[in-house]
Amino acid sequence: MNQALTQLLRSFILKPANKDATDYFRGVVKAGEMSERVLTLTESVIRMNPAHYSAWQYRYRTLLAINAPLDEELELMDELAEKFLKNYQVWHHRRLLLQRGALAKTPAAELAFIARGLSYDAKNYHTWAYRQWILAYFNQDALWEGEMRYIENMLEDDVRNNSAWHHRFFVVFSNGVRKGDEDREDTIRREVSFTKEKIALAPNNASAWNYLRGVLEHSDTPFASLREFVLPYTVPAHSSLDDVRDDSVVDLENPRPSPGADLPCPAAIEFLADIHEAVGDLQLISFRQLWKSLADEHDTIRKRYWEHRISEAQASRDS
């Protein structure tokens, strides 16, 4: 272990305040004490080590045992959540408090608090997971109504924010049909159109391609229905495909890659290969050839994976 790191760890372990606090904590747990003093002690331990599961658990049990004001505890969590944003325990503790009725603010204000946290770290998994829990737990139409606008703002800031794409799928598909989305076919068209626009903006954005796949699979929509959209993303810029297109015609259904895009796009080639494999169209470019281009040129980091797919397909054809 690096000598400086070793010294840092030793200084933490041997620092009297840290050692005393953890020793005292073990003592009160052994004695089964639950009091205001225990709340002070566990707060000290948590501030020193916010991942201390036992301290969080014992603190929660103590809060309930002595009927401590949970609204005051929630105010403390406001501070600790901002300070220890990436820590799972602080968000879980906050959730437990709300399940016990501790909500000094409205659920909408709680979403605003979460948004502040995401403004510091827009991809923090624990914060997004807590946001989803708030939406599902309170399940108020007013909360859901503003969520799509919030997600779109997040994707405007960073179209590659995979957490925001994941949250969008949760809002649209994973928690029932929301008001205004009763026409599911219209919802699917909207989501496909939205995702196409984002792919055109940043073709090599894996998050958007994965979302597109998710929408199609969720709605049992054949991938082949998007072949016309996908094809321009599978060839180099200024390829022979450009010779047959009329630039004066804007196809809103199939937006083309943005100028200067790095093409061909590996995700689009994979998508096209999946189309060919699914329909078994041997008159088009073989999906095995597309996989080979990924293995040899466009996605070499997964070379062995693509070679495995090619071998499997060959074995299946020969059997």
Question: What CATH number is attached to the domain comprising 288?
Answer: 1.25.40.120
Tens-digit pLDDT profile for residues 273-310: 999 888 775 544 588 899 999 999 999 999 999 999 98
In-domain check, residue 229: yes
Q: Residue 316: what pLDDT?
A: 74
- 192 and 61 assigned to the same domain: no
In-domain check, residue 122: no
In-domain check, residue 236: yes
Spatial CB neighbours of 20, under 8 Å, sequence gap ≥ 6: none
Cα angle: 221, vertex 223, 228; to 5 degrees? 120
Residues lower than pLDDT 50 in the chain: 1, 5-6, 8-14, 16, 240, 244, 283-284
Domain boundary among 37, 65, 93: 65
In-domain check, residue 142: no
- Counting residues of the chain whose pLDDT is more than 70, the rounded percentage is 86
**CA-wise closest residue to 295 among 278, 277, 280, 308:** 308
In-domain check, residue 125: no
The structure tokens listed for 14 are: 């041997």
pTM of the model: 0.86
Q: Residue 241: what pLDDT?
A: 56
**CA-wise closest residue to 75 among 97, 46, 92:** 97
Domain boundary among 26, 46, 65: 65
CA 257 to CA 269: how far, in whole Å? 14
Q: Residue 104: what pLDDT?
A: 64
Number of domains in the chain: 2
Q: Residue 288: what pLDDT?
A: 86
CA 57 to CA 53: how far, in whole Å? 6
Amino acid at 97: L
Query: 55-63: which pairs have CB atoms within 8 A and are 24 or more residues apart?
Result: 55/25, 56/89, 56/92, 56/93, 58/25, 58/28, 58/29, 59/93, 60/93, 60/96, 61/34, 62/34, 62/35, 62/38, 63/39
Q: Which of the residues 15, 83, 86, 196 is marked catalytic?
A: 86
Q: Residue 20: what pLDDT?
A: 79
Tens-digit pLDDT profile for residues 168-208: 999 999 876 666 667 889 999 999 999 999 999 999 999 99
Q: Residue 26: what pLDDT?
A: 92
Structural domain boundaries, residue 285? 184-240+253-319
In-domain check, residue 310: yes
Domain boundary among 65, 84, 110: 65
In-domain check, residue 283: yes
Q: Residue 281: what pLDDT?
A: 57
Task: Assign residue 180 a region (left: φ > 0; alpha: ψ between -120 and 50; beta: otherwise).
Answer: left
The structure tokens listed for 29 are: 């747990």
In-domain check, residue 131: no
86 is catalytic: yes
Q: With beta carbons less than 8 A apart as the criterion, state whether 173 and 140 touch.
A: no
The structure tokens listed for 23 are: 């020793």
Q: Residue 238: what pLDDT?
A: 73
Q: With beta carbons less than 8 A apart as the criterion, state whether 65 and 36 touch.
A: no
